[in-house]
């Protein structure tokens, strides 16, 4: 007999059982689907698909009643932490509160039901949305134009590198190296490889900033450019950015800005003004389009004037019109690198981001940065006696602590601290990143968390540190539906589908 979909014992409200998979709930003969009455002639399948193309047997998906479908996924939702449940201070991820009005925008039938191949004349509202967003992002980044196609930050990075390449090639060059600081996010070097470049890593100095000497040492005319986030992944502002940009430009390289940390500097300083030529923006971080448990996001790439001609196409553009009314169309730049998305990018994510920008406005976005940085510095200061601050200088929107000393003293690693914090009712900070800090704990409170929440978070981390001292951290978390999971076992046994389970 199939498992019961009516037992709520897997919902933490009442129990701690496992939730059966939908395949275990499945029972032949059950179904949920209902399709519209169409009155289309009911030609038999045999007449529609020739035998040589016909599937032998239907795909055994699962067979459940709508009631059990609802029970199953509702219970699963109760086994999932989310911003809406509580703070989510994951460093580098910017898990801020996402205003619900953006959900309402994304659900508008006038936006959500438009086919991507609809002719421009029938999609003027969408084109207007994209053009408005592009303009706003360019203003925020200090750039001339942008492509909205990339579906996430990493896609933006690769797009940026291909732009670098196109720029190189247009000059008849074939540079081979891209410079990345050792604190960079892993997507940066991975993208460099896919862009056909080699990564040259430049180390950070004792300030946690790019070591200028080390940088100068690796710069030559084989360098296509440098990728940097600023503030960097240590949460520190690269003060020498003007000089860095000057040096890179001097050898003919381009400056690439990884926008994952733009939240810290909205309205304060712009990548373009710092000397960057290419900028990607993580809309799902800075512009509060919810992360969806792993996506979708959007990673538009904005560029300085001299790179506009290489942008992916087709691009949404405002057309000249005689009557003064706005008209929009598509245009592909002459020397475009081509498409980087099957259609126009993650359009509904883009619409959310525009709503977010409109509701905040210039002043509101500046406040976002201020409060994000205020919160991070408060946490930094408050916890500086509990954990070691990785670098002894004020941070921007996030702060990296090291649990290395605690680890040595008590045996409890950053990982253990994270698991202990779960029991305190908080999602843990990022652990084990950036790689250059031992036992890193990277806290990004974001601007939407209140002072009280910061205090509660700090107190919770203090209690966890105390528990580490007592040696009682190891069994944590004890209050969650499952306890500490064996990651190594997962890789060793590799069961990635229900069918591989037996």
Partner 1 sequence: MPDYLPHTHEDIADMLGFLGLGSLDELFDAVPAALRLASGLGLPEGLPEPDVLGRAAGRGAANGAAGLVCFAGAGAYDHEVPPVVRALAGRSEFVTAYTPYQPEVAQGGLQAIFEFQTMLSRLFGLPIANASLYDGASALVEAVNLGVGVTKRGGVLVSAGVHPQWRAVLRTFAAGTGHRIMEVPLREGVTDWSAVEKESGIGVIVAAYPNYLGCLEDLGPARRMCDERGALLALAADPVAAAIVRSPANWGADVAVGEGQPFGTPLSFGGPYLGLFCCAADHVRRLPGRLVGETLDADGRLAYVTTLRAREQDIRREKATSNVCTNQTLMALTAAVQLGWLGTSGLAEVATRCARGARYCRDAMVGIDGVEPLSGATPTLREFALHLRLPAELAIERLAEEGYLGGVALDALVGEGGDGSLGADAARHGLLVAVTERRTRDEIDGLVAALDKVLR
Ligand X SMILES: Cc1ncc(COP(=O)(O)O)c(C=O)c1O
Which partner, partner 1, a second copy, ligand X, none, binds residue 249 by CB below 5 to 8 Å per kind? none
Binding mask 81-120 for ligand X (x = CB under 6 A): -----------x----------------------------
Beta-carbon count within 10 A of 156 CB: 33
What is the distance between the alpha carbons of residues 501 and 254, in angstroms, rounded to a whole number?
Answer: 50
Burial class (CB in 10 A: 0-12, 13-18, 19+), 211: middle
Stretch in the footprint of partner 1 (CB under 8 A) among 211-219, 221-229, 294-302, 461-469:
294-302
Q: Name the residue with tokens 């990018």.
A: 345
Binding mask 453-482 for partner 1 (x = CB under 8 A): ----------------------x-x--xxx
Beta-carbon count within 10 A of 161 CB: 26
Q: Does 18 contact partner 1 by CB under 8 A?
A: yes
CB of 339 to partner 1, least distance (A): 4
Q: Does 5 contact ligand X by CB under 6 A?
A: no
Which partner, partner 1, ligand X, a second copy, none, binds residue 258 by CB below 5 to 8 Å per kind? ligand X
CB of 469 to partner 1, least distance (A): 22
What is the distance between the alpha carbons of residues 242 and 139, in angstroms, rounded to a whole number?
Answer: 20
Which partner, partner 1, a second copy, ligand X, none, binds residue 430 by CB below 5 to 8 Å per kind? partner 1
Q: Does 229 contact ligand X by CB under 6 A?
A: yes
What is the distance between the alpha carbons of residues 83 and 110, in angstroms, rounded to a whole number?
Answer: 28
**Sheet architecture: strand order including 177-181:** 145-147, 301-303, 278-281, 254-259, 223-228, 177-181, 198-202
Report which DSSP code applies to 152.
Answer: S
Angle, vertex CA 466, rays to CA 461 and CA 467, nearest 5: 95
Q: Does 208 contact ligand X by CB under 6 A?
A: no
Q: Which of 133, 134, 146, 157 binds partner 1 (CB under 8 A)?
A: 157
CB of 425 to ligand X, least distance (A): 24
Which partner, ligand X, a second copy, partner 1, none, binds residue 355 by CB below 5 to 8 Å per kind? partner 1
SS3 category, 317: strand
The 3 state secondary structure assigned to 98-131 is CCHHHHHHHCCHHHHCCCCCCCHHHCHHHHHHHH
Q: Does 227 contact ligand X by CB under 6 A?
A: no
What is the distance between the alpha carbons of residues 148 and 115, in angstroms, rounded to a whole number?
Answer: 17
Beta bridge partners of 440: 402
Which partner, partner 1, ligand X, a second copy, none, binds residue 229 by CB below 5 to 8 Å per kind? ligand X
Q: Which of 5, 299, 313, 428 binds ligand X (CB under 6 A)?
A: 299
Residues in contact with ligand X by the rule CB under 6 A: 92, 152-154, 185, 187, 229, 233, 258, 260, 282, 297, 299
């Amino acid at each position: 007999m199939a498992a019961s979909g009516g037992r709520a014992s897997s919902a933490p409200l009442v129990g701690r059982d496992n939730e059966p998979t939908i395949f275990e709930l499945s029972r032949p003969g059950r179904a949920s689907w209902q399709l519209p009455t169409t009155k289309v002639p009911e030609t038999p399948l045999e007449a529609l698909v020739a035998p040589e193309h016909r599937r032998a047997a239907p795909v055994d998906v699962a067979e459940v009643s709508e009631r059990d479908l609802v029970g199953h996924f509702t219970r699963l939702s109760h086994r999932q932490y989310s911003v809406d449940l509580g703070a989510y201070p994951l460093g580098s991820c910017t898990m801020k509160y996402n205003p619900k009005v953006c959900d309402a925008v994304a659900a508008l039938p006038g936006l959500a039901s438009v086919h991507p191949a609809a002719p421009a004349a029938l999609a003027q509202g969408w084109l207007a949305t994209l053009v408005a967003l592009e303009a706003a992002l360019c203003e925020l980044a200090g750039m001339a134009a942008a492509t909205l196609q990339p579906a996430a930050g990493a896609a933006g990075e690769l797009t940026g590198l291909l732009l670098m390449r196109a720029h190189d090639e247009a000059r008849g060059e074939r540079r081979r190296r891209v410079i990345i600081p050792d604190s960079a996010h892993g997507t940066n070097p991975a993208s460099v490889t896919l862009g056909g470049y080699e990564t040259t890593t430049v180390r950070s100095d004792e300030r946690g900033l790019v070591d200028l000497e080390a940088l100068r040492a690796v710069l030559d005319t084989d360098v296509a450019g440098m990728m940097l986030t600023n503030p960097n992944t240590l949460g520190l502002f690269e003060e020498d950015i003007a000089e860095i940009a000057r040096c890179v430009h001097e050898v003919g390289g381009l400056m690439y800005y990884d926008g994952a940390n733009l939240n810290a500097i909205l309205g304060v300083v712009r990548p373009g003004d710092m000397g960057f030529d290419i900028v990607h923006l993580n809309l799902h971080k800075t512009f509060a389009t919810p992360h969806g448990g792993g996506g979708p996001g959007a990673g538009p790439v904005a560029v300085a004037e001299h790179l506009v001609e290489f942008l992916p196409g087709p691009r949404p553009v405002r057309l000249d019109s005689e009557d003064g009314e706005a008209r929009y169309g598509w245009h592909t730049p002459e020397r475009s690198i081509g498409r980087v998305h099957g259609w126009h990018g993650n359009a509904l994510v883009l619409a959310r981001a525009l709503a977010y920008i409109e509701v905040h406005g210039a002043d509101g976005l500046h406040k976002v940065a201020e409060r994000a940085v205020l919160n991070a510095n408060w946490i930094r200061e408050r916890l500086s006696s509990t954990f070691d601050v990785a670098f002894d200088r004020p941070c921007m929107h996030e702060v990296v602590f090291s649990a290395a000393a605690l680890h040595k003293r008590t045996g409890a690693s950053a990982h253990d601290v994270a698991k202990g914090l779960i029991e305190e009712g908080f999602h843990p900070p990022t652990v084990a990143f950036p790689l250059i800090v031992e036992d890193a704990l990277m806290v990004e409170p974001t601007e939407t968390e209140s002072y009280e929440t910061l205090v509660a978070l700090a107190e919770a981390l203090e209690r966890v540190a105390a528990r580490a001292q007592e040696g009682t951290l190891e069994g944590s978390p004890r209050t969650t539906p499952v306890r500490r999971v064996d990651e190594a076992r997962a890789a060793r046994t590799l069961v990635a589908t229900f069918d591989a389970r037996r």
